[in-house]
Structure 1
Amino acid sequence: MLDVKPQEYLDKIKLPDGFQIELFAENVEGARSMSISPSGVLYVGTFRARGSVPGKVYAIVDRNKDFKADEVITLASDLFMPNGVAFKDGDLYIAEINRILKLENIEENLKNPPAPVVISDQYPDKVHHGWKFIRFGPDGKLYVPVGAPCNICEPEEEIFGTITRINPDGRGREIFARGIRNTVGFDWHPVTKELWFTD
């Protein structure tokens, strides 16, 4: 394992006057996507690169609101690239490669997290561009991308290269947008509600 000292990297970042950057949390191996709850708990999904990091989901708690993590809690482990995390109505949603999971009433159970409930197992299991960033839209639906299963191809299955959306219970999946190679982040315009995404 590499002996990485994050502060050394932070010291090299040049910021405009009036800005500063500080380390918030350590020991969050493989951190990739994040979602923050209204109470301020930061949930972190991970991306396992070539089997080096087991698929974990973390909760990072800053109890005294000093912008320094007081505790890093592992909520789930041994998941299949649990990159995407989204918090809604007390529950944490997690996107694996081919499944969407839910940890119910998570903030009441951070120290003893419940077993993940599978709300959908209907997504492809292709690893190439298979990790998922997820977010709830202004319509209350969970948006889930499905990347193209290769770098340059025309897959036969229409689900690839899309952004889908499902109800919070996992039902009602529909394709919302097509022709998207592999989005790794999206959000909605606060006024027009247009979906903006990276690709």
Structure 2
Amino acid sequence: MNKKILAIYFLFVLFLTGCVTTGGLQKDVAPDLKENGLILLPVTDRALFTATGVSFVVSDLNEKRTILTVKDWPNEIPQKEGKGKRFYGAFTLPPGEYKFLSWYLVKTDGGSAKEPNEPFTFRLNKGEVIYVGNFNAIRPLGTGQFRDRFAEDVKNFQSIYPWINGSTVKQQLITGSWWTLPGGTEPK
């Protein structure tokens, strides 16, 4: 199928399902957290050639879907950890219970992951800043998993978004098995 037709179809489906896309926050402008909370969502995109980030689809209890695209502020991962980049996304969301429904690689052909077998959920309150883990996407295998890199990730978020300094970051680590894309395989 032609990439352009596929992209139009995807946007049409998002429009019909009421899905909203939210972009990352600006480095130097603190968000107003009086009515919303903030989720820190780092991604490690392990790629042999080009790492471009990951998009997630989350849903609240009313089934309102939001796309969170993590592709900003890339840093090369240390050579001893392989090839790829780390990206840092910070997103404001209304308070509530959320669950991850799907993920997909940015700028890559292929489909989205199906909803995980186990619930990947988080709760966000007004004025709260939370960290759910670093999503480790292994691009060649088409799989990913949340990992705990709290201390290092929060330090990097504070250097990217100076307005986070002084905020208490609550850890709501998502743990679970590998989450594969269509045709993906889990590491051995």
**Range class of TM-score, shorter chain:** under 0.3
Q: Larger Cα Rg: Structure 1 or Structure 2?
A: 1
The structure with higher relative contact order (CA 8 Å, sep 6+) is 2
Could you state the TM-score of these two structures normalised by the residue count of structure 2?
0.28
Could you state the TM-score of these two structures normalised by the residue count of structure 1?
0.27
